[in-house]
Structure 1
Amino acid sequence: MTSPSENYDAIILGAGGAGLMCAAIAGQRGRRVLVVDHADEPGKKILISGGGRCNFTNVGAGPGNYLSANPHFMKSALGRYTPADFIALVDAYGIAWHEKTLGQLFCDGSAKQIVAMLLAECGKGSAVVRCGQPVRDVDHADGRFTVAYGGHLASAPKLVIATGGPSIPKMGATGFAYELAKRFGLKLVEPRPALVPLTLGPDEALFRELSGVAAEVTARAGKTAFREAALFTHRGLSGPAILQISSYWRHGESIGIDFLPSRPAGWLRDAKRSRPKAGVRSVLGGLLPDRLAEALAERLALAGELANLPDKVLESAERRLADWRFHPSGTEGFAKAEVTVGGIATAGLSSQTMEARAVPGLHAIGEAVDLTGWLGGYNFQWAWASGWACGQAL
């Protein structure tokens, strides 16, 4: 049995970071706002992020930290709602935080504090947040959107798609945003898993046997490189450097790993002068985790003392260690992906208001849009900024 239709100024589908921010801003501007989510509680991705402490922004977040078919789309929203703006909100609620490496900010306590803050902000604007209410149907006629959800019916002249992408389906993530976008004639950039571990095939089984070994490396895909830790797993490669580069990697391509990014050119030749009786395995063992040093030395197949190896051979080994080629067989998919590359094409959206050009009143924000941040708080900053920009326009 469906209840009589409820009227609102805006209906927001999705109670994640972007949806809650949008609802808070629009509500505090006097708009009557409804937020609907099929999940049993709001902010589920926020709650699990950063090991439960929520990496809620990055102090250095800027356009260069994002992937999109349109590299300029994010500039307006990110410029109008900055990391400093969100930090000020966090500070206003007395939430203690700390900075980790590379500008990443985390709660000292719990991610629950960020969700509670967003819900309190929604409360200030009397936004209605209803969870555990699957959307059954969305209709559009006579300038109004009608949403059937749970046992309810609601209508509004504005509808916001904030349901995210399909990454982490165990948290309830789906491709609903894309289905809805297609129904309204919006184009999609093909979605694929991002910030995701890479798998290795049988040819590189030697490296899969290093499961649990980590080292600081520089990982490269094309012209993009990240220097952070890489972790060998029983299925392939993971760790921050690999998750970062996975967003840029395309199936069939190789990635390059510099296992010794701090070593200057000629370091192995210099080791030959200073430690002529040492072997390659011994030298690598002083610079890398033991099992990794052994695996690399085995692949290099340079036996004997350094003194007996020609400089050209050592220089060739150096070059290989600085750009060791892996050919991933794939990724661990949306199940292990933190975010999604691709989504609703930005070409059809206003960068100022997030509104669809072809469907007045329809907006898309957050991860549903073809805009993906690096690992380290950048995706949350996009959620806050796009939610804020949209909330200002409702």
Structure 2
Amino acid sequence: MTNSTRQFDVVILGAGASGLMCAAQSGYRGRSVLVLDHAPKAAAKVRISGGGKCNFTNINASPNHYICANPHFVKSALARYKPQDFIDLVDRHGLEYEARELGKLFCLHRAGDLIQILRTECDWAGVELELGVQVQQVSALSDQKGYLVLTSGGVVQCQSLVVATGALSFPKLKATDLGYKLAKQFGLIINETRPGLVPLVFDNKWLTFCQQLSGVALDVRVSVLSGDDKNKAPSFEEAILFTHQGLSGPGILQVSNYWQSGQGIEINLLPKLDVFDEMIALKEQNLHFHKWLNRFWPKKFTQAWLAHFPMPERLAEVSHETLKNYALFLTHWALYPADTAGYDKAEVTLGGVNVDSIHSKDCQVKHQPGLYFIGEVLDVTGQLGGYNFQWAWSSGFAAAQTV
């Protein structure tokens, strides 16, 4: 150690949602805090999320909304810092926000308003923030005296080191695997990673079908086809969107967290109806089938659907058995994606640092005192709808209580 080594109680690697939350809360405890990030701006992912309005939490957040190899791990942090706690924080700053469907809360104007709140909290707490800084090496000091961090801006020493580096999604925002490298350096296991909350892409005839309907949205129920009833993934009644590559929209992003290569997805195109009963009524009244479909679908989709899966315009001459099979098809349409759209289009990364070596109460590494992992770098992934930001706030807060 040289005289030029700067000393802090806490150094946080990553100026994203979890890192800034942890920094402010640590500072309020009287800790000297330095946040380092290689990106030129703080909280870049917050800025672009939610169409630029940031779905910053969900009032319904519970452990059931998260995917983790140990489903009990998230319970402690989520209980220590709840959605209402973050709502109280932004209320104190006068943030204008709006409630949307399924418990989602968004900034009313722009995500930059929320970033300003996080930056202000850090300022009030005396946090130092340095951007555009490369972390070159991290080492643990002997006798558990803390950590030495070699950066492009010099050397810093700290008692507690918090890894809040995020994961692999949005590489254009300078996402890196630094957090995983550090975890491996300190003997932690990395669970297999893959893109999450991501569109699904198709090939062959279904790619052509999707391309013809690009821009069309439908309200459906969608789920992953799985023969394993014990580990059956949840279904989601949300919109899907046809694109030039395949399918996107909230419903597809949701199931992408549960989809594995080779699996199919199942779409109920008319989730609010008893389709067979409705078709029997149409038959008895001798009404137009396509006009009935147009009550629920955009005309463009009705036309494309009937071109691929014809049905007589009048159902009077169609047998009950045929109607039953067609109704079953409308509510159990199976498609087989070729792949996901990759990390470029993914909102989150599934997998990450295995939590078996992490204390659930404060996200500290069990065998490495003073080392913490928070946020997306951990093997914790929320569903779509503000759950991942809530995990950032909760895990950041939990770590801040003991760093």
The residue identity in structure 2 corresponding to 1:47 is R
| Structure 1, unpaired ranges of 5+ | none
2:266 pairs, out of 253, 256, 259, with 256
Q: CA deviation at 1:271?
A: 1.5
Within 1, Cα distance between the matches of 2:287 and 2:116?
A: 63
Contact 2:199/2:252, CA 8 A, preserved across alignment: yes
Residue of structure 2 in register with 1:387 after alignment: 396
Within 2, Cα distance between the matches of 1:316 and 1:192?
A: 37
Please say if 1:99 is aligned against 2:110: no
Please say if 1:316 is aligned against 2:325: yes
Name the % identity. 43
2:282 pairs, out of 267, 271, 279, with 271
Q: Deviations over 1:205-252 (max 9, x none)?
A: 223321111110001114310011100001000000001111111111
The residue identity in structure 2 corresponding to 1:366 is G
Within 2, Cα distance between the matches of 1:277 and 1:3?
A: 87
Q: CA deviation at 1:277?
A: 5.0
Please say if 1:247 is aligned against 2:279: no
Residue of structure 2 in register with 1:21 after alignment: 21
Give the TM-score, by structure 2 length: 0.94
The residue identity in structure 2 corresponding to 1:383 is A
Please say if 1:151 is aligned against 2:153: yes
Q: CA deviation at 1:124?
A: 2.1
Residue of structure 2 in register with 1:216 after alignment: 219
| Structure 2, unpaired ranges of 5+ | 227-231
Q: Deviations over 1:103-159 (max 9, x none)?
A: 111112221121111111112221111111111111222122111122211011211
Contact 2:236/2:255, CA 8 A, preserved across alignment: yes
1:305 pairs, out of 293, 300, 314, with 314
Change (3 A) 1:116 1:87: same
SS at match of 1:334: coil
Residue of structure 2 in register with 1:200 after alignment: 202
Contact 2:290/2:313, CA 8 A, preserved across alignment: no
SS at match of 2:106: strand
SS at match of 2:399: helix
Q: CA deviation at 1:304?
A: 4.9
Contact 1:158/1:361, CA 8 A, preserved across alignment: yes
SS at match of 2:235: strand
Within 2, Cα distance between the matches of 1:78 and 1:151?
A: 35
Residue of structure 1 in register with 2:76 after alignment: 76
Q: CA deviation at 1:3?
A: 8.2
Give the TM-score, by structure 1 length: 0.96
Contact 2:210/2:245, CA 8 A, preserved across alignment: no
SS at match of 1:308: coil
Within 2, Cα distance between the matches of 1:277 and 1:83?
A: 50
Kindly report structure 1 stretches of 4+ aligned residues shifted beyond 4 Å. Answer: none
Within 2, Cα distance between the matches of 1:310 and 1:207?
A: 31
Q: CA deviation at 1:294?
A: 1.9
SS at match of 1:218: strand
Within 1, Cα distance between the matches of 2:314 and 2:385?
A: 43
Within 1, Cα distance between the matches of 2:60 and 2:322?
A: 42
Within 2, Cα distance between the matches of 1:269 and 1:114?
A: 53
Residue of structure 1 in register with 2:178 after alignment: 176
Contact 1:207/1:295, CA 8 A, preserved across alignment: no
Within 2, Cα distance between the matches of 1:308 and 1:367?
A: 57
Count of aligned positions: 391
Please say if 1:292 is aligned against 2:301: yes
The residue identity in structure 1 corresponding to 2:175 is A
Q: CA deviation at 1:183?
A: 1.1
Residue of structure 1 in register with 2:162 after alignment: 160
Q: CA deviation at 1:283?
A: 3.0
Residue of structure 1 in register with 2:229 after alignment: none
Contact 1:157/1:361, CA 8 A, preserved across alignment: yes
